[in-house]
Chain A
Amino acid sequence: MSEEENPAAEPAPVQDVQGDGRWMSQHNRFVQECKDAEPEVLFVGDSMIQLMQQREVWRELFSPLHALNFGIGGDTTCSVLWRLQNGELENIRPRVVVLWVGTNNHEHTAEQVAGGILAIVRLLHTHLPKAKIIVLGLLPRGEFPNPLRDKNLAVNNFLRASLPRVGPVQFLDVSGGFVHSDGTISCRDMFDFLHLTASAYSKIATPLHELLLQLLEETPQERRASLV
């Protein structure tokens, strides 16, 4: 599916329907952060990324890696694409980008959502040709089996198949263990059957952190290279 035909790959800002302009305020703050910061790692996506920064695990594991968090709750692939094209990649040269988005793409099919994620990966490659990218798989949601679980699984399967062809991208599936043998998800892992509790964030942070360390070791810092 070409990006021109895929609505999930069309960059679009979020409309301020509520009246307090919060989405644009958050975007503008990220653009400003790009002017001042020199992150080694950039996290970008929806509330799964945003809420990580409100947890202990951010302070313990990711902050020390000089990470920036550009997550906005409710974001789809369209709004993340728009943000990245409109200033959130200016002046920064992170060595690794962590991308987690797709669960809010309610208007799109699984194939379209995967296509949207691929479009973001291609954009990142264009702006940051030396960066490694980690795409996190979508998590299951809802207390019981439901169509959104199937859809998120399908997105992950599309990604598994197509990401290897796009370049230095790692697909990381951290969904293991959330769905129990009776098909339920526990509120101890997802307090509203969508967002992660502190203990669940700690669980998924471990493999993510390990992969980050590995990729950071493999990717030379541009600063060092220019001194030689």
Chain B
Amino acid sequence: MSSGDSNPAATPIPCEDVQGDGRWMSMHNRFVSDSKGKEPDVLFVGDSLVQLLHEFEVWRKLFSPLHTLNFGIGGDATQHVLWRLSNGELDHISPKVVVVWVGTNNHGHTPEQICGGIMAIIDVINQHLSQAHILVLGVLPRGKSPNPLRERNKRVNTLVQDKLASVCYASFLDVDPGFVHSDGSISHQDLYDYLHLTPQGKIFLKQWF
């Protein structure tokens, strides 16, 4: 997977305002403005799994003390994050670490394409922030029972982990503490809608950070 234009997951594109209240652009603009005014040591970027971290105790306890900015937007796929990072969200800041958590919303893309999208994101970050270390978090399993998306996400993680082995400025971190039980099920106590973390599920992130 070399060419960006043949991979939809690696082709930067903003989210279209289909609903009519311009929320995605509002959030992007706020992040651009944040990056002009703030000096974070750590930057989180990605989808709702990143965004929701900010809304719970875990952020205040673990990440706020690290001077962290949260540029997560619910629903974002790799191509949206790529666009945001290429359009102002990385300007004027020099965090030491950038945490990337995205990929689960890339519906219709193959694991290879999604991996390509994530690698394109790492590329853009490295171009803007040559001093930063990038931490790519593994995409979590989803759905109450075994399903194709779990297989897809697993494959994405394998591909990304493989690729990152030869990248010195980035590493892969598997943050799944074992959400899938021996009977193949995921509990709503960990992922309340079988996709998003409960406050309890977020506690598992503690051990990684």
List residues of chain A with CB under 8 Å of any chain B CB.
Answer: 17-22, 25-26, 29, 50, 53-54, 72-73, 106, 141-144, 146-149, 187, 191-194, 197-198
Decide: B55 and A22 in contact? CB cutoff 8 A: no
B146 — nearest CB in chain A belongs to which residue?
A20
Of A17, A72, A148, A149, the contact of B193 (CB 8 Å cutoff): A72
Task: Tell me the bound Cα distance from A148 to B145 in angstroms.
Answer: 36
| B145 partner residues in chain A, CB cutoff 8 A | 21, 25
Of B18, B23, B199, the contact of A141 (CB 8 Å cutoff): B23
Decide: B143 and A21 in contact? CB cutoff 8 A: yes
| A26 partner residues in chain B, CB cutoff 8 A | 188, 193-194
List residues of chain B with CB under 8 Å of any chain A CB.
Answer: 18-23, 26-27, 30, 51, 54-56, 73-74, 107, 142-145, 147-150, 188, 192-195, 198-199
| A20 partner residues in chain B, CB cutoff 8 A | 142-144, 147-150, 194-195
Task: Tell me the bound Cα distance from A187 to B142 in angstroms.
Answer: 28
B185 — nearest CB in chain A belongs to which residue?
A25
Decide: B27 and A192 in contact? CB cutoff 8 A: yes
19 pairs, CB–CB < 8 Å, chain A vs chain B: A20-B149, A21-B144, A21-B147, A22-B144, A25-B145, A26-B188, A26-B193, A26-B194, A29-B188, A53-B192, A106-B19, A141-B21, A141-B23, A143-B21, A143-B26, A144-B22, A147-B21, A193-B26, A198-B55
- Min CB–CB distance A222 → chain B (angstroms): 29
Decide: B147 and A19 in contact? CB cutoff 8 A: yes
Taking A191-B51, A197-B55 as known contacts, 19 extra A-B pairs with beta carbons closer than 8 A to each other, sorted by chain A number, are A19-B107, A19-B147, A19-B149, A20-B142, A20-B144, A20-B195, A22-B193, A22-B194, A22-B195, A29-B144, A50-B193, A54-B199, A142-B21, A146-B20, A148-B21, A187-B30, A192-B23, A192-B27, A193-B21
B195 — nearest CB in chain A belongs to which residue?
A22
| A106 partner residues in chain B, CB cutoff 8 A | 18-20
- Min CB–CB distance B98 → chain A (angstroms): 21
A28 — nearest CB in chain B belongs to which residue?
B144
| B150 partner residues in chain A, CB cutoff 8 A | 20
- Min CB–CB distance A109 → chain B (angstroms): 13
- Min CB–CB distance B194 → chain A (angstroms): 5
Task: Tell me the bound Cα distance from A198 to B26 in angstroms.
Answer: 20
Nearest 4 CB-CB pairings of A with B: A142-B21, A20-B143, A25-B144, A143-B26
